[in-house]
Amino acid sequence: MCKAIFYVGVDVGQEELWAAIEKSKLCSFKHTVAGVKALWNWVRRSNSEGTLHFCMEATGVYSQSLAAILSTYTDTQVSIVNPAQIASFAKAQLRRSKTDRVDARVILAFAQSQHPRTWKPQPEALQQLHHLVVQADALKATKRQWSNRAHTQAYIHNLPKVVCKTSSALQKSIEKQLTHIEEAIQKLCQTDPSLKTQIQLLCTIPGVKERSASRLLAYGKTALNSYSARALVAHAGLAPSHKQSGTSLRAKSHLTKQGDKRLRHTLYMPALVGIIHNPILRKYYQRLLAKGKPKMLALVACMRKLLIIVRAILTQQIPFNPAIQSLT
């Protein structure tokens, strides 16, 4: 016999958690391990038999840490919802105020009416890969900034020597740390059996190498093989947005970009190489150009096609095969 679901709306802050449950006053708790335990006990006293379902907005590390702790309790489910969904839901209810207390009530009402999907923690190896890749990309961005600064400083007359020395030292230090991170990524991908298998499968796709494969897994995570093709495309911000109504509104279609831009950016270079070396993408790209589509639009369509191919390979656990993947 399935247990009844008892929903809890939680507004997550850096230091405070506001919780809302049915037919009860709101209550606040400290955002600590002890505070989360007190929150769970408070909710359990209100419902001693049902399955507790905590719903919260995605607030980066704050919601992730809360969800990770709550998921360890028995008969407890967690949902992490896109804040845009909660904001739209609040507008639909004609809410005019926005406070932590109001948000907790709105999240509760959203959970009760929409029944959001249950959040599950990512595999440990995938979490480690994500943190390493994020750190590596951040170091690369910083390296570019200092490289550009050094280029500018080379044209400055009578620049103090100490400025040149500190710039050079910083660039060397960043390069050294970046090397360490890249080595850690490579070691993790080689030692973890699951990551190693997935990367080997992705590298069978023409245009995808180890670096792109590791970043696809780091940013796509389990969405790559757990989401439907349509949901995954939307998750990457590659879904087209159409605005047409009657005869008066005929707006030009464009990408929503309401998704993970890091995953979208990771797909760009493999798709660019793929329109030359990948038989599926090459044929698809040329067909779109023959229809008069702009090159950039055709390339974005190939990025979308590549993402679906990645999903098919990881879901079916088979290497790239044009005869099979062309049907995706």
Residues 299 and 221 in one domain: yes
Collect all residues with Cβ–Cβ distance below 8 Å to 201 and sequence separation of at least 6: 313, 314, 317, 318, 319, 320
Tell whether the torsion through CA atoms of 222, 112, 234 and 319 is positive or negative: positive
Residue 240: φ, ψ to 5°: -75, 150
Give the length of the chain: 328
- The answer to whether residue 219 sits within a structural domain is yes
Q: Is the pLDDT of residue 198 over 50?
A: yes
Mean pLDDT of 293-320: 93
Longest CA–CA span in the chain (Å) reads 80
Residues 238 and 320 in one domain: yes
- The answer to whether residue 139 sits within a structural domain is yes
Residues 268 and 155 in one domain: no
- Quote the pTM value: 0.86
Collect all residues with Cβ–Cβ distance below 8 Å to 139 and sequence separation of at least 6: 174, 177, 178, 181
pLDDT of residue 244: 56
Residues 320 and 208 in one domain: yes
- Select the more confidently predicted residue: 208 or 250: 208
- The answer to whether residue 197 sits within a structural domain is no
Tell me which of 114, 144, 175 is where a domain ends.
Answer: 114
Residues 162 and 267 in one domain: no
Residues 273 and 320 in one domain: yes
Kindly report the CATH number assigned to the domain that includes residue 99: 3.30.420.40
- The answer to whether residue 119 sits within a structural domain is no
> Is 281 within 8 Å of 191 (Cβ atoms)?
no
Instruction: Tally the domains of the chain.
Output: 3
* Span 84-131, pLDDT tens digits: 899 999 998 888 888 888 999 999 999 999 999 999 889 999 999 999
* Span 237-246, pLDDT tens digits: 887 754 555 5
Residues 13 and 109 in one domain: yes
> Is 26 within 8 Å of 104 (Cβ atoms)?
yes
- The answer to whether residue 302 sits within a structural domain is yes
pLDDT of residue 135: 97
Residues 187 and 220 in one domain: no
User: What is the distance between the alpha carbons of residues 320 and 242, in angstroms, rounded to a whole number?
Assistant: 32
Residues 148 and 211 in one domain: no
Residue with tokens 């995808």: 208
- The answer to whether residue 196 sits within a structural domain is no
- The answer to whether residue 11 sits within a structural domain is yes
> Is 50 within 8 Å of 3 (Cβ atoms)?
yes
Tell whether the torsion through CA atoms of 243, 249, 253 and 259 is positive or negative: negative
Instruction: Write out the residue range of the structural domain in which residue 221 sits.
Output: 202-244+251-325
Collect all residues with Cβ–Cβ distance below 8 Å to 14 and sequence separation of at least 6: 31, 62
User: What is the distance between the alpha carbons of residues 23 and 7, in angstroms, rounded to a whole number?
Assistant: 12
Tell whether the torsion through CA atoms of 102, 108, 109 and 114 is positive or negative: positive
Tell me which of 91, 114, 137 is where a domain ends.
Answer: 114
